[in-house]
Amino acid sequence: MTIPAESVVVPDRVRELSRGADLVCVWRNDDGGLTFRATGVGEPFYIKWGPRNLESTLRDEAERMRWAARWISAPTVLDSGEDETHEWLVTAALDGLSAVDPRWTAEPATAVRAVGEALRALHDALPVAECPWEWSVPSRIANAERRGIVVPESLRTPPPIDRAVVSHGDACCPNTLIGADGRWLAHVDLAQLGVADRWADIAVAAMSTGWNYGPGWEDALVEAYGLEPDRERMAYYRDLWNAT
């Protein structure tokens, strides 16, 4: 996943959805998905477009974002759809930048703190009893197996649950937006949101600091969340993420 450094060909469907807006590609994921910022025709908005896949869908994301927005800050869904091969999601823009925008990778201490605090706020705000989805270990292993992934036997018995929360499901640093004041603003990419142990998110968020800011920031993120690092749970959920 990366911010494209080169020009990107705009897919026809994205051009249609843009309604004549100026388009800049701001993100490319590993599956070939693209995210464009659209400006110049009213309020700015974003268009996510990509190939359909078995892990999650943009339809899932739209549904979860609408649900979660009752309690947390998340982009407003404007449109979503799919055809035989691809899917798309259109959301209103928020006045913030991804935690991995160059503005914030230049200030990793601020960014890491914001991501940790944002994750804790999400876990504290979303009601487990009202959440219709799960991101439990059995559900993740079943999803992986449907995609043809062989999950090691050692990952089939997770540590006891510390605290069940509504997890983000993809708590990597890019999925937190930060405002101009350096505080977290909103959460994005909620396609896998569901109930799980909070360490399923914390471990991934901490691990992603190494990809985005370099070594040495994992414990700072956990401390910003408000906990001491749990090495056993962090190692388990990191390995589960990498395996599935």
pLDDT at 31: 81
pLDDT at 20: 95
pLDDT at 5: 65
Determine the length of the chain.
244
Residue 68 phi, psi (nearest 5): -65, -30
Q: Does residue 1 carry a pLDDT above 60? A: no
pLDDT at 32: 85
Give all strands (DSSP E) within 53-202, no chain letters: 77-82, 86-92, 97-98, 164-167, 176-178, 184-187, 194-197
Helix, strand, coil percentages in the chain from 3-state DSSP, rounded to 5: 40, 20, 40
pTM: 0.94
Q: Does residue 82 carry a pLDDT above 70? A: yes
In order, the DSSP letters of 181-229 are TSSEEEE---TT-EEEEHHHHHHHHHHHHHHHH-TT-HHHHHHHHTS--
Q: Residue 106 gets which letter from DSSP?
A: T
pLDDT-based confidence at residue 2 (cuts at 50, 70, 90): confident
What domains does the chain contain, in order, with CATH numbers? 12-92 (3.30.200.20), 97-243 (3.90.1200.10)
Question: Residue 78 carries which side chain, given as an amino acid letter?
Answer: L
pLDDT, one tens digit per residue, over 130-157 is 999 999 999 999 999 999 999 999 999 9
pLDDT, one tens digit per residue, over 159-216 is 999 999 999 999 999 999 999 999 999 999 999 999 999 999 999 999 999 999 999 9
